[in-house]
Amino acid sequence: MTNHEALLFISIWFGLFLVLGQSVAIVLMGAGIIGIVALVGVKVLGGLLAPDIIGAASSFSLSIIPLYLVMAQFLLRGRVVEDLFLVGYRLSGRRRFPLGAATIVSGGLLGAVSGSGAAASAALASMASPQLQRVGYTRSFSIALAAISGSLAAIIPPSIIMIIYGSLTLVPVGHLFIGALLPGVLCIAVYIGCLHFFAEVSEEGTDTDEGIETDVSRSAVSAFVFVLILMTVIFGGIYGGIVTAAEAGALGAVTALIGMLGMRRIGLRDVFEALTDSVKVTAMLMFIVLGAQAFGRFLSLSRAPRELLDFAAPMLENPTVLIALLLLVFFVAGLILESAAVMVLIIPIIMPLLNAAEVDLIWFGVMACFMISLGLLTPPVGLATYAACAAAGHPVAPIFRRTGLFALVTAVIVSFILVRFPEVVTWLPSRIQ
């Protein structure tokens, strides 16, 4: 087959099996293998497939992933996100808009000590959305808000997707984490703005909820303080140049473990389950990385990245247009594909382009991670929305309408600001050194 025939054939294969419901990792792996065989024959597989699989699975930079996952697991099992919400509940005076905003902020706070979003969305959907309904938001909107708040865990650093970006581009993960701090705060602000404009209020809701007295217990306050301590350990450690992102992850995980055990929030059984779950999710993510890597080898063999570079060469004059286009590609890919897959697939293809345009890789990486993470909220595949709906026992379609709207508006506003003012990303990391 010629390169173009193979690319066409594999695109059809890829789309077909994706729609037929094969898991993303297997679609990538299968399409990659078939594509390689179609282009250059079976003989090349021997030296490519197994070394790539063993090599990627032996990557130190990706070994950070389970550390940030297990840290979040300890906190979730210790019901820390619920307590964060309770503190916000109290501070908001149980008034409608402040409580909605507090939900977003507590999602953001949890996000600052955990790596991925779906689990936090589920916890907030079962815990926070009833309270949100009580102060007058509709049920659908309450669940959507829970999904949106929980998904901040992927946007606010530390983030799994940034770890993967770092491993692909050799940009220090610590710099990405620090660089994403201000954009994360910006994203929270835009969400709160969206809340103001798009909130849906039911007829029977009341603005204040004086019905139930939920005093903020000492334990809720201690959870809040603990999260602040943990944030200091992670970001203070990285920003202060004391530890690397990998070491911050391990310190954070051990701190969370000791803290949750010490406060008797989790038992040994929870520890065991948290470890198992983190192993499971890491394996799942790594399988996507392996599949995307195989697919990437097919693309390299087809010379597609080079053709893309030639094709996009005229645009190098005006990198802003190029960057805006690439961000759009990330957003669209995030609609259907799992975020790790988007990253591993697209970054190697566009790396020559980014280098040729002399794009700041920290700046671009933070923006790319941001666009991909919004995919957690957008239909048809949005894991945060799925998780919130599953926890609340609600059909997904009406929720996707709302989470998708938030994601779209935020994508436009935040990416405009970040492209226009790169300092929002680059200023803090430049001060690490």
Partner 1 sequence: QNLTLSSSLPQVHFWVGVALDRFADKVEAETDVRFTRFYAGELVGVGRGLDALQGGTVDAVTPLLAPYHPGVFPLSDISQVPVYNTDSPAVTRAFQKMLDSDVELVPGKTFYDYEIGDKGIKAWALGATGAYAISTSGKEVREPSDFDGLQLRAGAALQTMTLEQLGVNPVTITGAEIFEAVSRNTIDGAIISVGDWKSYSLVGLLDYTIDGVALGHWESYNAMTQSAWDSLTPEQQEVFDQAAREVALETAEFIETQEIEVREEAREQGAVFEDVSDLSPEMQTHIADAGRRAWIQWIEATEANGHPARATAQLWAELIAEEGGELPEGVAEYLAD
Partner 2 sequence: MIRLIGKFEWGLAAIGGGMCLLAIMGITVLTVFGRYILQADLIPGGYNMIGGAFFPLLVFWGLPLAHRSGSFPKLEVIDVFLSKHVARAVGAFVLLCELAVYAVLTWYCAKYTITAFEFGRQLQIGTGYWPSWPVVIMAPLSFGIMMIEVVRLLLRDVRAVFN
Interacting residue with Na ion among 296, 375, 422, 429 (CB under 5 A): 375
**Residue from 15, 44, 83, 7 nearest 337 by CA:** 15
287 binds partner 2 (CB under 8 A): yes
Task: Please state, in angstroms and as integers, the Cα–Cα distance from residue 249 to each residue in 72, 117, 237, 245, 395, following that order.
Answer: 10, 17, 10, 6, 36
Q: With CB under 5 A as the contact rule, which of the stretches 4-12, 105-113, 176-184, 346-354 interacts with Na ion?
A: 105-113
66 binds partner 1 (CB under 8 A): no
3-state secondary structure of 293: helix
Interacting residue with partner 2 among 7, 10, 24, 223 (CB under 8 A): 24
Q: Which is nearer to partner 1, 60 or 197 (CB)?
A: 60
In the region spanning residues 379 to 398, those forming contacts with Na ion, defined by CB under 5 A, are 381-382
Q: Which is nearer to partner 2, 20 or 212 (CB)?
A: 20
Q: Token match 């996000």: residue? A: 111
- State phi, psi for 27 to the nearest 5 degrees: -60, -45
* Rounded distance between C-alpha atoms, residue 237 and residue 5, angstroms: 51
2 binds partner 1 (CB under 8 A): no
Q: With CB under 5 A as the contact rule, which of the stretches 145-153, 205-213, 349-357, 395-403 interacts with Na ion?
A: 145-153
Interacting residue with partner 2 among 2, 21, 211, 358 (CB under 8 A): 21
In the region spanning residues 261 to 320, those forming contacts with partner 1, defined by CB under 8 A, are 296-297, 300-301, 305
Q: Which is nearer to partner 2, 354 or 387 (CB)?
A: 387
Q: Minimal distance in Å, beta carbon 31 to partner 2? A: 10
119 binds partner 2 (CB under 8 A): no
Q: Minimal distance in Å, beta carbon 386 to partner 2? A: 9
Interacting residue with partner 1 among 98, 172, 205, 379 (CB under 8 A): 172
345 binds partner 1 (CB under 8 A): no
* Rounded distance between C-alpha atoms, residue 214 and residue 1, angstroms: 68
Q: Which is nearer to partner 2, 202 or 276 (CB)?
A: 276
In angstroms, how far apart are the furthest CA atoms of the chain? 72
251 binds partner 2 (CB under 8 A): yes
Q: In one letter, which amino acid is 24?
A: V
Q: In one letter, which amino acid is 349?
A: I
* Rounded distance between C-alpha atoms, residue 365 and residue 362, angstroms: 5
How many residues are recorded in the chain?
Answer: 433
Task: Please state, in angstroms and as integers, the Cα–Cα distance from residue 175 to each residue in 47, 166, 246, 247, following that order.
Answer: 35, 9, 12, 14
**Cβ-contact 179, 151 below 8 angstroms:** no
**Residue from 190, 255, 210, 172 nearest 96 by CA:** 210
**Cβ-contact 409, 194 below 8 angstroms:** yes
- State phi, psi for 216 to the nearest 5 degrees: -75, 115
20 binds partner 2 (CB under 8 A): yes
In the region spanning residues 368 to 397, those forming contacts with partner 2, defined by CB under 8 A, are 380-381, 383
Q: Helix 160-169 crosses helix 65-77 at what angle (to 10 degrees)?
A: 170
Q: Which is nearer to partner 1, 118 or 176 (CB)?
A: 176
* Rounded distance between C-alpha atoms, residue 374 and residue 128, angstroms: 21
Q: Which is nearer to Na ion, 49 or 153 (CB)?
A: 153
283 binds partner 2 (CB under 8 A): yes
Task: Please state, in angstroms and as integers, the Cα–Cα distance from residue 105 to each residue in 14, 101, 398, following that order.
Answer: 39, 6, 24
Task: State the residues that interact with partner 2 by CB under 8 A.
Answer: 17-26, 29-30, 33, 45-46, 49-51, 53-54, 57-60, 62-63, 66-67, 70, 242-243, 246-247, 249-251, 253-254, 257, 272, 275-276, 278-284, 286-288, 336, 338, 380-381, 383
Task: State the residues that interact with Na ion by CB under 5 A.
Answer: 111, 153, 156, 159, 335, 375, 378, 381-382
Task: State the residues that interact with partner 1 by CB under 8 A.
Answer: 43-48, 50-52, 55, 170, 172, 174-175, 241-244, 296-297, 300-301, 305, 348, 351, 432-433
